[in-house]
Structure 1
Amino acid sequence: MAKNILSKLNIKTLATSLVMSGLLLSTMQSSMVNAEEAKVERKTKRVPTLRSKVFDQLSRAQGLADEGKQAEAFEVLDEVNEKSSSMNSYELAMMHNFYGFIHYEAENYDAAITAFENVVKQQPIPESFEQATLFSLAQLHMMRGNFDQTIEKIEQWETIQLALFPGKEIPAKNLVLKAQAMYQKQDYQAASEYINAAIKQVETNDLGFQVDEQWYVLQRAAYYELKQPEQVKNVLLKLVKKFEAPKYWIQLAGMYGELGLEDKQLATMEIAEQKGFVMTGSEMFNLAQLYYYHQIPFKSAALMQKALDEGKLAEDERNLTFLAQSWNFAKETDKAIPVMLAAAKLSKDGELYAQLGQMYLNMEQWQEAIDASRLAIDKGNLRNEGMAHLVMGMANFNNGDYNEALNELAKAQKFDGSRSMATQWAKFVEGEMKQQDTYASVLN
């Protein structure tokens, strides 16, 4: 799931600026309203004046809150609230705004929401004040997991904006907040459309702004949920280029793998490894697997050995088995055998001992092949027990013990997976025995 990408609430800044500019704004609005109506076609609100005695009390409450004296600040606001019947809409809105600000500072978010809801209920108030409060409400609802209310408040903000500035583009910050809410509602298509529009708006403007990193993260998450791996890959390419974070390189490699582009997957992981971004045991294991898959077993083994030596991977059956297989594939059998032996001792079945027996056989270490295969059979749960008997038969033959070889080959013939080869070897051993008997009779 993508993180909730919330813009920082600027409630305190909003409260301060509105109190400090309230008198001036109200006076200017009252004196210039006729001129404004002559200049523009839209209807302008007549906002009542914020009186100085209310302003002084609100400023005192803010000062107490700034000093961390929240209880005293609430007492001042309660004194103001006792005179609410004589206050105009602007004054009431400012009072509720300060209630909201102090509740927010105290992390009483539900109480803050209630207070800010009371702000927008007071009419008329300045449009900028109403919009700022609606946006703060949208953020708070997002924080509280109220996703429908988040969208509702943003759309109320947009309604005011469109009335004031018809045809003006909806700001990217609104689109992002709606995208976050839609994502949390699991409406991934809507989330994708909103975040795409926000990113496009910023990428194509001429103001020099950069898209926030978390916007791309949300865009990637939406594409992922929509099962659009090609688009996920494209977003990750941007994240890699713009932010150079290790996790994006690893994720990009993973997406190349999901798209079946194994060569690019390996190349991306190798670059990440060179940059020092392949740091965890799981990442090192994944890269080692890629090396093995692409038939570069020495690099696979070397990386696995490094991960084990650094303690990033445990010396458990899985990791030791893979390391042994990598060394064996790289024809470094001397390095593979002790690792495979350690893995076999940890295993609950005899399969690894059986593999070890075959490795010894290939090295012409006949007795070791016999001993390992015997351990495999004794430990049991083999996929093909017949192959262990076959290895023992071949090793006994090379040890010169023809009778024991035939005994093991006879056992191997009882299993489908080894019957054909065991039969051929038995004929060969019998032929060798007859030939030796002939030589012995001639000599006698």
Structure 2
Amino acid sequence: MKVIKNLLVLSVSAVAVNAAITLTSLVPEVSIATAYAETKTKRVPALREKVYSQLARAQKLADEGNVQEGLEVLDSIKDRASSMNSYEVAMMHNFYGFIYYNENDLVNAIASFEKVVAEEAIPESLKLSTTFSLAQLAMANGDYAKTVEYLDDWKKLNTQPIKSNFYTLKAQALYQNKDYKEALENINSAIGLAESKGEIPKENWLVLQRALYYSLNQPGNVINTIEKMVKLFDKPQYWIQLGGMYGEVGEESKQLAILETAKQRGFIKTKTEILQLSQVYLYNGLPFKAAQTLKSGVDSKIIEHSAKNLSFIAEAYVQAKDDKKSIEFFEAADKMVDHGNFQQRLAEVYINMENYDDAADAARNALDKGSLSFESNAYVALGMAQYNLKNFDASILAFEQAEKHKKSAKLARQWIKYVQKEKLHEESLKQATL
């Protein structure tokens, strides 16, 4: 049973929020003192004292909030770039990038860091970290194709075991670019890597995995992922989504069990959730629970006091064989519409209750109000009510009107013959008693 499909991951669009890259700690802290010390131990061009002192001054100004002054110091260093070695030039651009990044100027930050990795004679660690930062910054800037490109460049440089942050970042970029298949391969790698170490995958990794399975139309795998999320994180929305997915694949008994549990735990709160549970109850042959659930939602003002919702409650009570309870809801719904369909249903309910006077009145009200979906049904109800009131001529007249409608013609003819016989029988009895 497909019930309120959009309940799922249905927050698929939420993945971008849940797994988004933020501008916090994308770029590693730049320490000019550390960089200077590295040149004493590593085989890279020296970072000379005069350049070091100017870079240190620029960093100090930026750290103190004097951003413009820090940039001006860097500009003065850049004017002498022709006399600087590769490592000095790279560090200069690194500081430009760091300052721009701190000012949330991603375009200039990216341009600066690209100049860092363009230099040849720099430590591999700097090239690796900067390339990865470029991928993160491109992601934050919404350039998903470039994110993937930077990550591929980083992978070519990297000689160590790949960590999960590589796979998750690439999966997110590929997802945003709608390359769902490759994105899934990457997020699965990240999750598999964590689980192989006995670690719990991060929640937003599973959110992304779930979204990708859904986008690739793999409902069985969507269910497997949400079942894992329910066990690991036990959040209300995951219970609701799991119920929705069981409905998607036709496992109604599991859907009912999950949503019943969610209700008992107080997870069913929103309009959509209450509507879904009511429909699931009705579909699974529990109409009284369906009526009571939606009525509770209406009473608490979570669900609109609308004709549609009131008629759902009424029809559920009818299915639950509690015709009397349905009446007030049909009457309330009728007051909110211009058509006579709910009066017609009232007529049919009154007939079930053997309250034929009210049935006849409701059928006439339905016909007077008009705009009926099936006018013939109102005439049939009127005919049946009049017959039981022994108003045989009025009954025959109503069934003759019903006979004009193709949908009810055969039934109406049968009733006409039956009522005519009953009329003759009644008249014979009267004659016999004279």
Same fold (TM over 0.5): yes
Aligned CA distance change for structure 1 residues 301 and 384 (closer, same or farther; 3 Å): same
1:28 aligns with one of 27, 31, 41: 41
Matched, 1:115 2:112: yes
Match of 1:173 in 2: 165
Amino acid at match of 1:276: G
Amino acid at match of 2:46: T
For residues 221-240 of structure 1, what are the structure 2 equivalents within 5 Å?
A: 221-240=211-230
**For 1:202-226, what per-residue CA distance to the aligned partner results, in whole angstroms no more than 9, with x for missing partners?**
1102xx5432111111111111111
1:414 aligns with one of 368, 384, 404: 404
Query: Displacement of 1:51 after TM fit?
Result: 2.8
Match of 2:181 in 1: 189
Amino acid at match of 2:21: L
Matched, 1:88 2:85: yes
Query: Displacement of 1:230 after TM fit?
Result: 0.7
- Runs of 4+ that moved beyond 6 A: none
Query: Displacement of 1:283 after TM fit?
Result: 0.7
Bigger mean CA offset, 77-86 vs 272-281: 77-86
What secondary structure, in the 3-state scheme, does the structure 1 residue paired with 2:304 have? coil
Matched, 1:76 2:55: no
1:14 aligns with one of 29, 37, 52: 29
**For 1:231-259, what per-residue CA distance to the aligned partner results, in whole angstroms no more than 9, with x for missing partners?**
11111111111112222111111111111
Matched, 1:282 2:272: yes
**For 1:173-197, what per-residue CA distance to the aligned partner results, in whole angstroms no more than 9, with x for missing partners?**
1122221222122111111111111
Query: Displacement of 1:7 after TM fit?
Result: 6.6
Cα distance between partner residues in 2 of 1:437 and 1:387: 28
Matched, 1:153 2:150: yes
**For 1:312-360, what per-residue CA distance to the aligned partner results, in whole angstroms no more than 9, with x for missing partners?**
1111122111111112222222221111122223234322221111011
Give the TM-score normalised by the residue count of structure 2. Answer: 0.91
Query: Displacement of 1:129 after TM fit?
Result: 1.0
Query: Displacement of 1:432 after TM fit?
Result: 2.8
How many residues were matched structurally? 419
What secondary structure, in the 3-state scheme, does the structure 2 residue paired with 1:50 have? coil
1:435 aligns with one of 411, 425, 431: 425
Aligned CA distance change for structure 1 residues 9 and 138 (closer, same or farther; 3 Å): farther
Cα distance between partner residues in 2 of 1:172 and 1:131: 16
Matched, 1:382 2:372: yes
Aligned CA distance change for structure 1 residues 66 and 48 (closer, same or farther; 3 Å): same
Cα distance between partner residues in 1 of 2:33 and 2:333: 74
Cα distance between partner residues in 1 of 2:358 and 2:335: 15
Aligned CA distance change for structure 1 residues 430 and 436 (closer, same or farther; 3 Å): same
Matched, 1:339 2:329: yes
For residues 242-253 of structure 1, what are the structure 2 equivalents within 5 Å?
A: 242-253=232-243
Give the TM-score normalised by the residue count of structure 1. Answer: 0.89
Aligned CA distance change for structure 1 residues 440 and 117 (closer, same or farther; 3 Å): same
Query: Displacement of 1:8 after TM fit?
Result: 5.7
Match of 1:398 in 2: 388
Query: Displacement of 1:437 after TM fit?
Result: 2.3
Aligned CA distance change for structure 1 residues 426 and 379 (closer, same or farther; 3 Å): same
Bigger mean CA offset, 346-355 vs 194-203: 346-355
Match of 2:57 in 1: 60
Cα distance between partner residues in 2 of 1:256 and 1:443: 68
What secondary structure, in the 3-state scheme, does the structure 2 residue paired with 1:315 have? coil
Query: Displacement of 1:296 after TM fit?
Result: 0.8
Preserved CA contact (<8 Å) 2:46 2:87: yes
1:104 aligns with one of 98, 101, 106: 101
What secondary structure, in the 3-state scheme, does the structure 1 residue paired with 2:116 have? helix
Match of 1:37 in 2: none
Amino acid at match of 2:172: Q
Match of 1:35 in 2: none
Cα distance between partner residues in 1 of 2:256 and 2:361: 40
Match of 2:6 in 1: none
Amino acid at match of 1:220: R
**For 1:393-444, what per-residue CA distance to the aligned partner results, in whole angstroms no more than 9, with x for missing partners?**
1111222322211211221222233233333332333233223322333333
Preserved CA contact (<8 Å) 2:187 2:205: yes
1:213 aligns with one of 203, 206, 228: 203
Matched, 1:144 2:141: yes
Amino acid at match of 1:287: L
Preserved CA contact (<8 Å) 2:282 2:290: yes
Bigger mean CA offset, 344-353 vs 170-179: 344-353
Cα distance between partner residues in 2 of 1:173 and 1:11: 12
Cα distance between partner residues in 2 of 1:334 and 1:68: 75
Cα distance between partner residues in 1 of 2:249 and 2:65: 55
Preserved CA contact (<8 Å) 1:89 1:122: yes
Preserved CA contact (<8 Å) 1:5 1:214: no
Cα distance between partner residues in 2 of 1:258 and 1:441: 66
What secondary structure, in the 3-state scheme, does the structure 1 residue paired with 2:108 have? helix
Query: Displacement of 1:80 after TM fit?
Result: 2.3
Query: Displacement of 1:300 after TM fit?
Result: 0.8
Aligned CA distance change for structure 1 residues 142 and 12 (closer, same or farther; 3 Å): closer
Matched, 1:319 2:309: yes
Cα distance between partner residues in 2 of 1:65 and 1:326: 69
Greater length-normalized contact order (CA 8 Å, ≥ 6 residues apart):
2
Amino acid at match of 2:168: V
Preserved CA contact (<8 Å) 2:307 2:336: yes
Cα distance between partner residues in 2 of 1:328 and 1:375: 20
Cα distance between partner residues in 2 of 1:380 and 1:343: 15
**For 1:287-319, what per-residue CA distance to the aligned partner results, in whole angstroms no more than 9, with x for missing partners?**
110001111111111110111111111111221
Query: Displacement of 1:137 after TM fit?
Result: 0.6
